[in-house]
Amino acid sequence: MPYAIGIDLGTSNSVVSVFRDGSPLVIADEEGNRTHPSVVSFGHGQSAVVGARALRQMVYNPNGTVYSAKRLIGREMHSEEVTKAQAMVPYQIVPGPHGDPRIQVHDRIYTLQEISAHVLRYLKQLAESYLDEAVAHAVITVPAYFNDNQRQATRDAGTIAGLEVLRIVNEPTAAALAYGLGQAKNEYVAVYDLGGGTFDVSILHIMGDVFEVVSTAGDTYLGGDDFDKVMVDHLMAQLKESDQAAVRRSPASRLKFKRAAEQAKRELSSTEEAAIVVEGVLKDDRGFEKDFHSAITRVQYNQLVFPLVKRTFEVCDQALNAAKLEPADIAATVMVGGMTRSLIIREAVESYFGRSAEQGVNPDEVVAVGAAIQASSLLGALEGTGTAGSLLIDVTPQSLGVATVGGFCERLIERNTAIPVSQTKTFTTSVDEQTEVRIEVFQGESRMSADNEKLGEFVLEGLRPAPRGEVRIAVSFDIDANGIVNVTAEDEDNGRAASIRLDASTGLTDSEVEDMKFDNLDF
């Protein structure tokens, strides 16, 4: 029988799961690892190594090893996240023809979709090895706050990897689905998702087999990478200026400090103090390599990261306010992401919600498990062999609208609106004898267009010349179950219409995706 897999494509680590014989199973690699580093390392022959093997090559091949690609996918080259990444990562980030960031490794340039596709193909192959049959379908999860470009770019990555993506599902929704599997609940649940690159919190109302997202909020610039950076900055401040400059010039040394910070962070969840040794990153008076030694206590670490922890609860406040709920109304808290293993995070979450977090779900695996459950249900419906599964009612994380005269943004769909959804609003021409209108689409909460994120634009031509305000244009927004947005503008006089699927500003064309498919290339 055919199988569909669920994939949690994470910033730091990814997980693949399959629903088999009535229960979800997380698939391990040949070494027994159930979480797989989202790392791709390219040799000079451009052969790619993925996962744990690639992670081990980071220090020895820093310029050819790509990690944290999820933080860049679907973004524009001039975005804040890309600027921050350029200062931190050892590999080269260069502009692409669509204004998108791309990765240059040795003498070849890769799209972010191709990098993610390498990870997805690796997970696909693990599943095929475990199931002993080909796998063609998948559900892939993304942070709730991913915009349309990021969602479409993730879907394109799946296509390049040889997968038919049945649905893009928000990570918190998938986690809640795994938590509520087979339980006749009627309660509000908070999903606190702190991964490697992003933070999301979603409030869901679980009613039997119906999982309704009531609200969601997030911070796309907050994750485990940021906690590690705080620790690295603390360690670097202990060096004299000349040593700091030498470390910054060396990609391998920077990675060694990052790895040491990650290790200390993990140790401090179970010990009061962590010793830190970074091998071979300094020079003594005679020019020989020497190690960097330091130590940090749990109290010191908590003080360093407290501002980041506080930011997560500002986001929690937003989600609860949008749902018109208080922390006491939440019956269960589901923790997602490797950072939630940190003691300071667990204690802070329990203090905020006033109860212990759920212990029956693995924070590293729960998202992939939920994705596998949904994948099995969708494939069963597609094949006509399954019964109706759980109903997922998700929401759009940010408001959507169009630019109007005066630099304003007119919202058509408010944030936290249940999807799929369609909404139409009629506008008129703004100048006399106007024969075309430019539709600029924005995402965000500001009344001013310039303060929101522009997702795309298109032009409706052939309008009847007439005094301003006389020609009417109906603008329609349609958001499907994957969160992908389509916008249409129609001249109410003659029925002439133009539309856009908002994947062009930082994505790839359909033909480019087709050309990049791994099945079409000789690897």
User: Looking up tokens 């031509």, which residue turns up?
Assistant: 461
Do residue 229 and residue 265 come from a single domain? yes
Per the annotation, the verdict on 132 as an active-site residue is: no
Question: Among residues 8, 29, 478, 503, which one is catalytic?
Answer: 8
**Shared domain check, 402 and 278:** no
Residue 343 and residue 203 share a domain:
yes
**What SS3 class is residue 51?**
coil
Per-residue pLDDT band for 1 (boundaries 50, 70, 90) equals low
- List, for residues 158-174, the tens digit of each pLDDT value: 999 999 999 999 888 89
Q: Report the CATH number that the domain containing residue 262 is assigned in CATH.
A: 3.90.640.10
**pTM tops 0.75:** yes
Task: Name the band, by pLDDT with cuts 50, 70 and 90, for residue 385.
Answer: low
pLDDT of 186 over the 50 cut:
yes
Q: What confidence tier does 181 reach under pLDDT thresholds 50, 70, 90?
A: low
pLDDT band (50, 70, 90) for residue 154: very high
Catalytic residue (choose from 29, 70, 226, 258): 70
Under the banding of pLDDT at 50, 70 and 90, the label for residue 502 is low
> Do residues 171 and 297 both lie within one domain?
no
In tens, the pLDDT along 20-57 reads: 888 889 999 999 999 999 999 998 666 889 999 999 88
pLDDT surpasses 70 at 16? yes
**What CATH number does residue 74 fall under?**
3.30.420.40
Residue 409, domain extent: 396-501
196: nearest Cα among 174, 175, 226: 226
171 is annotated as an active-site residue: yes
How far out from the chain centre does Cα 298 lie? 29
Res. 520 pLDDT band, cuts 50 70 90: very low
From the candidates 114, 148, 171, 219, give the one annotated as an active-site residue: 171
The proportion of the chain whose per-residue pLDDT surpasses 90, expressed as a percent, equals 45
Q: Which of 76, 100, 193, 364 is catalytic?
A: 193
The answer as to whether 518 is a domain residue is no
Catalytic: 70?
A: yes
d(C-alpha 470, C-alpha 491), whole Å: 11
Reported as a single tens digit per residue, the pLDDT across 448-461 is 998 888 888 888 88
- Residue 349: pLDDT band (50, 70, 90) is very high
Last residue of some domain: 244, 277, 303?
303
What kind and span of H or E run contains 516? helix 510-516
For 455, other C-beta atoms within 10 Å of its C-beta total 22
